[in-house]
Structure 1
Amino acid sequence: MIGQDFCGSISSQIKTFSKFFQTLLASVNQSDNSERVEQLNQIRKIYQNAKTVLIWLGPDTREHQAKVAVDSILIISNFLCRILGTTVSDLSSTDDVYQDIVFKNREHLPLPNECEFSTDTMWESLIWFYSRSYFTRVWIIQEINANKERWVHCGHQRIEWDRVELVAGYLIMETAFSKRFGFTRAYCWWAAIVRTERIRQPKYWLSMLYFASNFSCTDTRDVIYALWGLMTASDGTKLLEPDYSKSIVEVCRDTVEAAFVDFKNTNVLLYVTGNESPSWVPRWDRPMLFRNPFRSGKALPWRPAGETKPIWNIDKDLNILSLSGFVIDPIKFAESYDESFFRNAMTESDEGRSTLKQVWQQILKTVKSGSQIPFSASALAAAATSFSFGLDEESNPADESRLMRNFVAYLKNALGEETYDKYIPSGWSEEPSYGDGYAFDKPVWNFKYPESSFFITEGRLMGCCISTTKPGDMVCVALGSTYPFVLRPDGDHFLIRGYAYVHGIMHGEQRYSQEQVFKIR
């Protein structure tokens, strides 16, 4: 009873402090821009200077699910630390717990439901625990990253944040498990990624905004301004300074200019999805978790424009971006596809395999438009590399032959024998045994992905774009770019559809094409 009374007292204090903090924020004059900015500066200092950050998830249920959930997190985190040879105290100093501890060792970890501790009661309590709205609030990014001493309180229970984070990553490690047991309805992903290295490093503020777009806030501008204390833009700091007199479009537009100035490349345009207005302004206030590459901020070797710097101008009155670059080729054939079809769970059911067969029959017909059948090794390499955006399952640049072998092995699983034999040379019957079909472009998380597209240009270049394309769209390269873009002619201007991977141009093979200025709106 003494321990319970003590925990109850602490929980009461946390709730009282939480209400005080909310009252303090509410007392800020929201119409006074300078006062709001001043308070933004204070928030990070408060968390940094605190001895311990106490996180309040909310009250327990009558069934005492908080205790079951916390006990479950203790059991699972102890199991993971033991099997991986680490300790809970080591986790706070790990750059990225999900990538460096869980995902890196996924082949050595059993699925959660295959462990001795697995019970339906455990999973039900953890779904309840990780469904707390706290995990999705953009303001927690500063709260979690500003201090290493963090304790999570729920009802009368408390537990270290590092355990909560580790178990969240384990629960989303395999899409099939998380979907089957209902964790796609919870907020495990948010809990697992909120403390990644790319969020903690101020210089990677584009990656920070990318992740934060999936978090929520009352004022949409705070998707950017709530992170201001974490961001460092040496040459563009003034452009990122909070100004609540601006609209959300103006605030997002300022990030484009700041990124051009700060990074000296066009990578900020990689975050547009083909559904924005203006088309070149990423909307950080809308969830933008989509793959290829999974934008974790890794440095990539692609230089389709060679070692160039961007040449740009922004007309803020007309919201037009002028960007120098060159045209590669117009698109002749295009076929849309959904990346979620590539997840391994699709091959584990008759319904999934039936869907895959239909999807790939349609895609391969498009591939056939630019190549004879059965496909040659070069055509398969071009298709495999395009669908993978040149990356392996860990978003690292990969050898083309390995991507091709994995692609062929994947098609062996996805297609019926008759269709497979139609498109793959008979002499390749042993080729799948050298590849891993389950490693082909596997999405890490079970999110809803926007439609992407495979295309072939008039010059028979194969590529993939992160949004839908159509014949007549132009594959273009901006100076200072990491990826080419697909631009759609719109009168005298263009609209950005999204970035693409185009096999055969990613290392500047067409760098010396005639330059022109693209006016994008």
Structure 2
Amino acid sequence: MARLSKISKRKRESTSSPRFSWSSPLYEHIPLPSTTSIRILELQPGEGTETIACRLFAVESARAPPYEAISYAWGRETDTRVINCENRKLRVTANLRDALWRIRDPVKVKLLWADAVCINQLDNEERGFQVRQMPSIYANAVRVLVWIDLPSSAFKDFDLLFDSDTTKYEDASEEGMSMGSASRILNEHVARLEVPGQTLENLDPDTRVVASALCQLFEAPWFKRLWVVQEIGMAKSVLALIGDISIDFVDLIRFILRLERRTVLMDELGLFIAGKANVYTTFPARSREMKGEVDDDYNFLEMLEVTRNKRASDPRDYVYALLGHPSASINGVSIVEPDYNKSATELCFEVTMKILEHSHNLRILSAVHHSEHSLDRGTSSWIPTWNRDVVVLSLGVYQDHYFDVEYDACTGMDAFWKLSEPDRSLEIHGFVFDVVEEHIETEELGDDGATVLREFDDLMSAMLHFKFLDGASPGERLAAVGQTITAGFRNQDPKAFQVEYVAFRHQLAQEALKYGRSISHELIPEGMDILYRTSGGRSIDDIYWAASRFCSGRKVFCTKQGMLGLGPAVLRQGDMCCVLFGAQVPFILRRIGEKWNLVGEAYVHGAMKGEAVVDWMIGEKCEKQTFRLI
């Protein structure tokens, strides 16, 4: 349950006199006595914008006094402020200084842990053994305090989100709203935004303020930071501090979960919040609080993939920041040890090999997402790089979590792989079943109704001019287009999807009238009205969600044999469509002499359930071969 409180507004300007000389020397960390020691920050009492005064002391982690750990976004490392640490100057980022202002008590000393000051960031060896301890540091804290700072312009809208006449709540007090009142306020705001198909145009002015506040909250730097996933996941208890508002973090998670599938509205707001809540609940402490409300069964590959769009200043932290997750251990041993003397390239190779060795499949290849630059730079094309910001929702990695579908392109055939040195090429088995003939770019769907309609219309009209499904009815061709741009996200028969998809097209057609547009006639085939009526018009959010997510960062293509597909943004005419033994989805490979580049995974309509394997087994079209990936 939430606990909402308001404290007096703090000014963000420094006006008080410093308690120490600004000519004091810089603070230097004293080396820790052992690899199991930690530093505790003792924050001295103070008010308002008085200069922060503190001291650091070392203690064995097993004997540490009760302390609270801070979870925050560092902010720009060049935007620093000076605090007083043992009468010496210690530079911290402005965001950490603001967090300490917010947390500081006017009369009591507070014991805290904050990574930027409690770890000597200039000592790689210390960083390594402190990172090993970070899961236990956050797990052993009495409470984790999440500092979510917002731009000053955002505070007004966000305060309005929670400002209510407390007298209408019978459990209100002089100190503010009770836990029950705060939860009711949250529920009231969410209910306004939960209407299926809701758009910005339909919102009343008060609800637009709510939407604006949500935009600014979920776009705060804290939600984009990678390390916070482990910090929240390991904590016993979490309190979010948002400006001058305090709220139980579990309620914030529920808030996000209820909104994340309202995709049309969220896209208009410029938000993609899917996965922003589930990722925290994959740790035991949070999953117990959210029992039955979330999907908490993530393996380490899935954790690497779902967090790759978060931010970390060091590329190696895209692995190290997740080592506290239960899936990061194999038979009780950490999948890797933090080592900041190791390169990011070497680390990605080590993690890939560990996952290959213990998974007995080729699922990790679905985590490869290339740019033109990364594919041509000469490094191994089959090794994922998790510090690359990608917009692609991986089919092979996410299928168990984001959509109800079971891909089985290889019909469960066992994986074979062999690593060859010194070029680190990977030999795998499979076969080519088709060749890319034509392709078209997909665009990220726009933020307003007119743009969305135009982009859907243009994309599907172009696809219908591909040479595919010769002799099929218009309805069957349309259903094939629909299933391709949604990557078959509903595990249902084509007739059922046809009903749902045509309903979606009719709803878009109705929306088009508002913008003076008409949907291409070929997209609404004659005789399909009865299908629309039987569907109940229920699917616009689900289909829009799938199409916008799966098309993002991909190209639609057609093969020589007339198959439709959704593939990597870097695919080219002449690339090969392949089934790889041990991979649940098809892959696009590119021949480089006698070797191959892994271009990326693909959805190929009519090849996702082993249809190509049947052709190979009866010897009609396909021939088994060994691919040497470089």
User: Higher helix proportion, which one?
Assistant: 1
Task: Give the TM-score normalised by structure 2.
Answer: 0.65
Question: Can you give the 5+ residue segments of structure 2 that lack an aligned partner in the other structure?
Answer: 10-44, 48-100, 165-176, 288-295
Change (3 A) 1:325 1:157: same
Between the aligned partners of 1:110 and 1:510, the Cα distance in structure 2 is: 41
- What SS is found at the alignment partner of 1:195? helix
* Comparing 63-72 and 486-495, the one that deviates more: 63-72
- What SS is found at the alignment partner of 2:253? helix
How does 1:48-197 map onto structure 2 within 5 Å?
48-58=139-149, 61=152, 65=156, 67-68=159-160, 71=163, 77-79=183-185, 81=187, 106=194, 118=206, 122-170=210-258, 172-180=260-268, 182=269, 184=271, 191-197=276-282
Give % identity: 21
- What SS is found at the alignment partner of 1:240? coil
Change (3 A) 1:23 1:420: closer
For residues 477-498 of structure 1, give each alpha carbon's deviation from its aligned partner in whole angstroms, at most 9, with x where no partner exists: 1111110101122222222222
How does 1:7-406 map onto structure 2 within 5 Å?
11-12=103-104, 21-26=115-120, 29-30=123-124, 32=125, 35-58=126-149, 61=152, 65=156, 67-68=159-160, 71=163, 77-79=183-185, 81=187, 106=194, 118=206, 122-170=210-258, 172-180=260-268, 182=269, 184=271, 191-197=276-282, 204-230=299-325, 231-234=327-330, 240-275=336-371, 276=374, 277-291=379-393, 293=395, 295-296=397-398, 298=400, 301-315=406-420, 317-338=422-443, 340-341=444-445, 348-349=449-450, 351-366=451-466, 369-372=467-470, 375=473, 378-392=476-490, 397-406=491-500
Between the aligned partners of 1:114 and 1:294, the Cα distance in structure 2 is: 37
Question: Can you give the 5+ residue segments of structure 1 that lack an aligned partner in the other structure?
Answer: 85-101
Contact 2:557 2:566 in 1 (8 A): yes
Structure 1 residue 168: Cα displacement: 3.8
Structure 1 residue 227: Cα displacement: 0.6
Between the aligned partners of 1:26 and 1:445, the Cα distance in structure 2 is: 46
For residues 395-442 of structure 1, give each alpha carbon's deviation from its aligned partner in whole angstroms, at most 9, with x where no partner exists: xx2332222223333444567999855476533343333344625632
Between the aligned partners of 2:475 and 2:204, the Cα distance in structure 1 is: 46
Between the aligned partners of 1:478 and 1:213, the Cα distance in structure 2 is: 25
Between the aligned partners of 1:452 and 1:310, the Cα distance in structure 2 is: 26
Contact 2:410 2:581 in 1 (8 A): yes
> Which of the pair has more CA radius of gyration?
2
Structure 1 residue 121: Cα displacement: 5.2
* Greater relative contact order structure (CA < 8 Å, 6+ sep): 1
Change (3 A) 1:262 1:138: same
Change (3 A) 1:148 1:81: farther
Change (3 A) 1:426 1:237: same
1:464 aligns with 2:566: yes
Between the aligned partners of 2:145 and 2:236, the Cα distance in structure 1 is: 11
Between the aligned partners of 2:154 and 2:585, the Cα distance in structure 1 is: 53
Alignment partner, residue 519 of structure 1: 628
For residues 34-80 of structure 1, give each alpha carbon's deviation from its aligned partner in whole angstroms, at most 9, with x where no partner exists: x4332122111121122221222348959964754554898784255
Between the aligned partners of 1:501 and 1:229, the Cα distance in structure 2 is: 33
Between the aligned partners of 2:324 and 2:399, the Cα distance in structure 1 is: 19
Contact 1:269 1:280 in 2 (8 A): yes
Structure 1 residue 280: Cα displacement: 1.5
Structure 1 residue 453: Cα displacement: 2.6
Amino acid at match of 1:164: L
Between the aligned partners of 1:440 and 1:156, the Cα distance in structure 2 is: 37
Between the aligned partners of 2:109 and 2:153, the Cα distance in structure 1 is: 18
For residues 118-156 of structure 1, give each alpha carbon's deviation from its aligned partner in whole angstroms, at most 9, with x where no partner exists: 356555555444443222211111111112411112444
Amino acid at match of 2:313: T
Aligned length: 485
Contact 2:234 2:324 in 1 (8 A): no
